[in-house]
Amino acid sequence: MPIWMKNTDRSCQVLLWLFERFSMHCLANVVEPLRAANTIARRQVFDWRFVTLDGRGVASSSGLPVLPHAAIAEAERADLLFVLPSYDARSHATPRCLAALREAAQRHEVVAGMDMGSWLMARAGLLKGRRATIHWDEIDAFAETFPDVEVEHRRYVIDGNLMSSGGAMTAFDLTTRLIGDLLGEGMRLEVAALFMSADVERPDEPLRHRPRGRLVESAIALMRSHVEEPLALPEIARRLGVGLRELEARFDAELGAGPRNVYRSLRLSTARRYVEQSAYPVSEIALRCGYRDASAMTRAFRAEFGVTPRSLRRG
């Protein structure tokens, strides 16, 4: 488990409510970050199921069929329900569907309308007096149709236990935000890095061009780009235009771990991927992860993962 990951033993139960002609892009930007978080955590932090209104299969807008696990009314209580109608959302707003959505909002902890999902939520009366967003092509029509909803032109909106995102790309933003809320900011950054999110790119961009809250993200991006030849922490601080003490304080505040420990964890996570996905000898992996001594890397690897590189590879 990464050192910055919050210790949560219970799996988060997730439902994904799919409709005919749902967006595969939107679905992937929800499911893949959850899958990545499970991979990084090396356990089932998120457990998801697919549901439809009547329990029958649906096909995406690209024609890919999906066979759900259950009908929405039969699904067990979940921590998080994603609603993904995407195309033809208006046609899905039948009395049966809206009644099922209202019942689901009472039963499940959090409801998140993705892309056009907030249209159904508003039609069901869930967003009256609440803040929400929607796909930006629809935002004017949404505001006109539902004057009792406080419509915001933002990538995603979180208003208590009701959430909404503005499209397929922003579905990724909302999902990684939820991952960070549950597992810590460091895990959010780890997941974003796997998908080359803009949050972790351009580490050498001058500090004056970055939001103040992105200092830790930029430091981690520098660390990632210097795994084989690690930078000294004072050099990282210098490149980011801050003092070492401020860098350390920001890491402690945002991740609950110092930059030295985070850097080591990133290098060891890279080593683990090499062990699992390549045929490099341990000595080569050590060099590629900034260790001149393979024995030193093996000791650090075992302390981090509870197993040696050779034992992991044999397993």
User: Residues 10-39: pLDDT tens digits?
Assistant: 799 999 999 999 999 999 999 999 999 998
Tell me, yes or no, whether 3 lies in a domain.
no
Q: Is pLDDT at 201 greater than 60 in this prediction?
A: no
Whether residues 134 and 206 share a domain: the answer is no
DSSP assignment string, 20-58: TTB-HHHHHHHHHHHHHHHHHHTS-SEEEEEEESSS--E
Show Cβ contacts of residue 70 under 8 Å, excluding neighbours closer than 6 positions. 49, 51, 55
Range of the domain at 25: 12-182
CA angle at residue 38 from 307 to 52, to 5 degrees? 155
Whether residues 148 and 240 share a domain: the answer is no
In this prediction, residues 278-302 reach a mean pLDDT of 93
Whether residues 134 and 235 share a domain: the answer is no
Cα separation, 118 vs 37, in Å, equals: 26
Q: What is the mean pLDDT of the chain?
A: 88
Cβ(85)–Cβ(120) under 8 Å?
yes
The pLDDT score that the predictor gives to residue 75 is 96
Cα separation, 49 vs 34, in Å, equals: 12
Question: Which tokens go with 292?
Answer: 């001149």
DSSP 8-state secondary structure symbol assigned to residue 307: S
Whether residues 171 and 62 share a domain: the answer is yes
Whether residues 161 and 211 share a domain: the answer is no
Amino acid at 179: I
Closest CA to 175 of 21, 59, 18, 38: 38
Whether residues 234 and 174 share a domain: the answer is no
CATH at 57: 3.40.50.880
The pLDDT score that the predictor gives to residue 5 is 53
pLDDT digits (tens, 9 = 90+) for 208-250: 333 445 788 889 889 988 999 999 999 999 999 999 999 999 9
Report the SS3 class of residue 171: helix
Whether residues 57 and 176 share a domain: the answer is yes
Please report which confidence band the pLDDT of residue 7 belongs to, taking 50, 70 and 90 as the band edges.
low
